[in-house]
């Protein structure tokens, strides 16, 4: 569970650092490619990428040691990390409701930490890796369909698709049994991981560029938590500590609900500008 929380901290902090770098690079000329090249030269953007890589390593370690449902809820909590770091570094004002949501996420994760058992030892049906590969391909098709929509419908479909893709990554990590190069090349779970992760990144990027950040992120949180959790429990043998199944379900629901309340932080918000001081009233000349 510590690795899952470490991944959440890395991903949540990386989001804010990359947003700060992109904002600093936005003053020049050129299109999106030029903006990206300027952002890459920013140390904060590079630090964010490094944190993303470290977070992915933490995620893999967590998925190999604790149930998928616990890892998925912890990764969704990265929105709480983003909110807190944005409040500190970007001086974004959080409402009382949002601070309460941060507390709700922490409470849900605490319940999950108490109730979660060890990683399931079952490998699932033999066809499961191929099913995951098929789902990853379906994510791409869903993305093509979603790009034809407009407004919140587009953001929701693309966000859900991104969540399904990230969910494929979570399950595929558990299905990879050997790291021998000869076996990796013939393992469909490896290709499911690569295709699902790549498709998820593309869909989420498209959703955030041309749609509601809140809607897209909410769809992503739902897609990457519920489905993989069910796969882990039904086919991979993920269980809770004896007698604490109810606490795990409650903690999962509470953590995901808190993350959904913070969905606007799926993309770090713009800093709130400081209020300009009110102009002083003109001084009226005193009578002679």
Q: Domain range for residue 109?
A: 1-119+246-265
Residues 84 and 166 in one domain: no
- The count of structural domains within the chain is 2
- Spatial distance between the Cα atoms of 86 and 80, rounded to a whole number of angstroms: 10
Residues 114 and 161 in one domain: no
Take residue 70 and report the two structure tokens written for it: 């616990």
| pLDDT at position 64 | 87
Locus of tokens 């807190």: 84
14 within a domain of the structure (yes/no)? yes
Burial of 127 (0-12, 13-18, 19+ CB in 10 A): exposed
Q: What is the pLDDT along the chain (288 residues), one digit of tens a residue?
A: 889 999 999 988 988 887 777 666 555 555 445 555 666 667 887 888 899 899 989 999 999 888 999 999 999 999 999 899 988 888 888 899 999 999 999 999 999 989 988 777 787 889 999 999 999 999 989 888 887 877 778 888 888 999 999 999 999 999 998 888 888 999 999 999 999 998 988 888 777 766 777 888 888 899 999 999 999 998 998 888 989 999 999 999 999 999 999 988 887 766 544 444 444 444 444 444
Residues 105 and 33 in one domain: yes
Q: What is the DSSP string of 69-86?
A: HHHHHHHHTHHHHHHHHH
- Spatial distance between the Cα atoms of 189 and 20, rounded to a whole number of angstroms: 36
188 within a domain of the structure (yes/no)? yes
| pLDDT at position 108 | 94
Residues 62 and 175 in one domain: no
Q: What is the DSSP string of 1-47?
A: -HHHHHHHHHHHHHHHHHHHHHHHTTTSSS-HHHHHHHHHTSHHHHH
46 within a domain of the structure (yes/no)? yes
> How much is the pTM?
0.81
Q: Count of residues for the chain?
A: 288
214 within a domain of the structure (yes/no)? yes
The phi and psi torsions of 116 (rounded to 5 degrees) equal: -65, 140
The answer to whether 85 and 16 are in contact (CB under 8 A) is yes
62 within a domain of the structure (yes/no)? yes
CA distances from 167 to 35, 127, 175, 287 (A): 30, 17, 13, 77
282 within a domain of the structure (yes/no)? no
Residues 87 and 144 in one domain: no
The phi and psi torsions of 269 (rounded to 5 degrees) equal: -75, 165
Residues 110 and 167 in one domain: no
């Amino acid at each position: 569970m510590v690795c899952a929380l470490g991944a959440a901290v890395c991903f949540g902090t990386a989001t804010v650092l990359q947003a700060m770098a992109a904002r600093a690079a936005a003053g020049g000329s050129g299109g999106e490619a030029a903006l990206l090249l300027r952002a890459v030269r920013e140390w904060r953007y590079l630090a964010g990428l490094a944190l993303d890589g470290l977070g992915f390593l933490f995620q893999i370690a967590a998925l190999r040691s604790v149930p998928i449902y616990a890892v998925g809820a912890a990764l969704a909590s990265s929105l709480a990390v983003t909110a807190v770091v944005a409040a500190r570094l970007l001086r974004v004002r959080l409402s009382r409701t949002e601070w309460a949501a941060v507390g709700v996420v922490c409470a849900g994760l605490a319940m999950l930490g108490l109730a979660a058992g060890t990683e399931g030892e079952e490998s699932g049906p033999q066809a499961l890796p191929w099913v995951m590969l098929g789902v990853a391909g379906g994510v791409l098709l869903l993305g093509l369909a979603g790009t034809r929509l407009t407004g919140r419908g587009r953001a929701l479909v693309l966000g859900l698709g991104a969540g399904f893709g990230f969910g494929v990554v979570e399950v595929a990590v558990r299905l990879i049994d050997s790291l021998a190069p000869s076996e990796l090349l013939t393992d469909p779970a490896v290709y499911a991981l690569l295709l699902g992760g790549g498709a998820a990144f593309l869909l989420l990027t498209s959703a955030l560029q041309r749609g509601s950040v809140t809607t897209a992120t909410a769809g992503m949180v739902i897609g990457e938590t519920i489905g993989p959790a069910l796969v882990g429990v039904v086919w991979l043998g993920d269980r809770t500590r004896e007698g604490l199944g109810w606490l795990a379900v409650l903690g999962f629901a509470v953590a995901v609900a808190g993350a959904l309340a913070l969905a606007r932080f799926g993309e770090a918000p713009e800093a709130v500008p400081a209020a300009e001081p009110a102009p002083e009233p003109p001084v009226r000349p005193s009578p002679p």
